[in-house]
């Protein structure tokens, strides 16, 4: 299965035409949150509607900038993965949106413990197939959570959960300057960076064997 991964769109789809061939060839496009600039539900509808014109299948979680009401709109548009488990082929996707509290008081901030609790409730160890986790917040202490002042700001509880569960893939966004690929044990981590700057993640999850992941700029 081939995924394209987007995040931190913030209402800007200027790079959509440039990414069209990547989006249309993939089996699924995943959006790791922050589809809007500040929770405008009309903007959210427009972004999802336009993305669907370029993708075979679309799943998204809200980010801290989208607001909790965005979950209702994503459900209406048949694109929501927040608090859900969706199986496609040999891959099971689980998602938890929102983000840990920030200094900025953004629209959808929740305790880290709530994010981990939601992921734990969705995780079923006896479920067949490979597991891909979609979460706006990255785990702590990786290439994906380092801000410009060289400080790590990801979730320590999220990291502990990833290390214990070891999903095949963990996809996140949120930290604009930390696009890239990393690992925690066998788990491949990816942050595509802001789509409004052209960041797109490409992840290939085979039936078995090594997961391949990269970030490209369109």
Contacts (Cβ under 8 Å, ≥6 apart) of 117 = none
pLDDT at 150: 81
DSSP code of 99?
B
For residues 4 and 218, what is the distance between their CA atoms, to the nearest angstrom?
12
pLDDT along the chain (218 residues), means of 10: 97 96 97 95 97 97 95 97 96 97 91 97 89 97 89 94 97 94 97 96 96 97
pLDDT at 174: 93
Q: How far is CA 15 from CA 46, 48, 74, 78, 135, in A?
A: 15, 14, 22, 23, 23
pLDDT at 94: 98
For residues 173 and 178, what is the distance between their CA atoms, to the nearest angstrom?
8
pLDDT at 129: 87
Kindly list the domain boundaries of the chain, sorted by start residue.
2-217
Q: Identify the H or E element spanning 58.
A: strand 58-60
Q: Identify the H or E element spanning 191.
A: strand 187-191
What is the CATH T-level fold of the domain 2-217, as seen in this structure? Purple Acid Phosphatase; chain A, domain 2 (3.60.21)
């Amino acid at each position: 299965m081939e995924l394209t991964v987007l995040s931190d769109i913030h209402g800007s789809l200027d790079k959509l035409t440039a990414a069209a061939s990547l989006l249309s060839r993939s089996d699924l496009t995943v959006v790791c949150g922050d589809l809007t600039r500040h929770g405008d539900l009309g903007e959210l509808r427009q972004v999802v509607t336009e993305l669907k014109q370029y993708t075979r299948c679309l799943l998204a979680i809200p980010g801290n900038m989208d607001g909790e009401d965005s979950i209702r709109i994503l459900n209406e548009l048949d694109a929501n993965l927040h608090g859900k488990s969706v199986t496609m082929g040999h891959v099971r996707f689980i998602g938890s949106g929102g983000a840990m509290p920030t200094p900025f008081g953004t629209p959808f901030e929740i305790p880290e413990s709530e994010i981990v609790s939601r992921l734990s409730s969705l995780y079923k160890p006896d479920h067949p197939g490979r597991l891909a986790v979609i979460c706006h917040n990255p785990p702590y202490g990786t290439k994906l959570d380092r801000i410009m002042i060289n400080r790590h700001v990801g979730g320590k509880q999220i990291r502990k959960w990833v290390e214990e569960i070891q999903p095949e893939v963990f996809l996140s966004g949120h930290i604009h300057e930390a696009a890239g690929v990393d690992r925690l044990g066998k788990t491949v981590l990816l942050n595509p960076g802001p789509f409004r700057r052209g960041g797109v993640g490409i992840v290939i999850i085979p039936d078995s064997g090594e997961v391949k992941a990269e970030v490209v700029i369109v």
